[in-house]
Amino acid sequence: MTDLVRKDAGKPLRDAMKRRGVTRAELAAKTKAVDVRGQGVSVATVIKVTGRGKTASTVCRLRTAWLIATALAEPLQDHFDMPSVTTATGERCKDDDGADPR
């Protein structure tokens, strides 16, 4: 599953919450209201995504980011970036003859 990276250590999210006048608990409740599954995002996850310091998370799942941005009525890309593409160059399979290429 794709993970998104929050912009500027979550500052745009905190600014949006302030503009909307919502607390973290209220934001979590709003995510439940916009979720077609009715689950939403837990308060703990909202705290990790919007927070600062050691307990904050730099990345979150696409679904989590989408629910938070939708609950804030703001574009997803204002708050999150896509992660960089991996540049792994190692082989991941054996040769066609089944022999290990090492």
Residue 102 lies in a domain: no
Q: What percent of the chain has pLDDT over 70?
A: 79
Residue range(s) defining the domain that contains residue 40: 3-81
Helix, strand, coil share of the chain (percent; to 5): 45, 10, 45
Residue 6 near residue 62, CB atoms below 8 Å = no
Counted domains in the chain = 1
Could you tell me the two tokens for 54? Answer: 């050691």
CATH number at residue 42: 1.10.260
Could you tell me the two tokens for 29? Answer: 């409740």
Residue 33 lies in a domain: yes
Residue by residue, DSSP assigns 69-101 as HHHTTS-GGGTEEPPPPP---S--S--TTS---
Residue 50 lies in a domain: yes
Its sign, for the CA torsion 11, 75, 41, 27, is: positive
Residue 73 lies in a domain: yes
Q: In this model, does residue 102 exceed pLDDT 70?
A: no
Residue 68 lies in a domain: yes
Query: 51-86, pLDDT tens digit by residue?
Result: 998 989 999 999 999 999 999 999 999 999 976 666
- Per-residue model confidence (pLDDT) at position 36: 94
